[in-house]
Amino acid sequence: MARSFAQLALNAEKNKGSIAVAKEPIENPPLEIHTLGNKVLRQPAKRISKVDDSIRELVKNMLRSMYSAKGIGLAAPQVGIDKELLVIDLDLENPTTPPLVLINPKIISTSASLETYEEGCLSIPGVYLDVVRPAAIKISYRDEMGRPRKMNADGLTGRCIQHEMDHLNGVLFVDRVTSDEDLNRELKEHGFNRNHVNKI
């Protein structure tokens, strides 16, 4: 029994090792996070045909850049890469919790119930506004080893996945804000141009 537990632990360590990155800010993050107004944020991402070492290296660099910006989610288009890839980590304080890596994610179903919650984005720093989204989703995706996966997500995880998946379609959370008054005030206060919002 002990041997099988040891084997399980070893396998878990191996899998974790493929994207193990320190959850600490670094002085020169490898990737630049683009902000509202940059055209790359509006480009639709392309499906990843093969999950290989170059994709895993990109995942690591995205995580390093996300942790350096003190974010909880980052999509490849935010760093100017048109690939269907996003990383999420809602447990920044715990170095042993692995991040969520979603490659080619697709929403299979959404709940009928909606929730309103405040969102922010590394591409629109300082701006926080309420967004209405489905309360729960079911998704399919590939993990960092290329294995097909499915998961149900609600709460902050479900919202974060939906927020980051929007980036893969060139959509930003400000496009979904229903209060024009709040939107205009926040954007102006933080030096962003209202014309760069594509209202949905």
**Encoded amino acid at 162, one letter:** Q
Q: How far apart are the first and last CA of the chain?
A: 56
Question: What's the CA angle centered on 127, arms 59 and 100, to 5 degrees?
Answer: 25
Which residues pair with residue 75 across a beta bridge?
86
User: Which is catalytic among the residues 164, 181, 186, 189?
Assistant: 164
Give the residue among 168, 187, 169 at the shortest CA–CA distance from 177: 187
* 164 carries an active-site annotation: yes
Q: How far apart are CA 34 and CA 36, in angstroms?
A: 7
Burial class (CB in 10 A: 0-12, 13-18, 19+), 79: buried
Give the residue among 46, 37, 98 at the shortest CA–CA distance from 75: 46
Active site members: 164
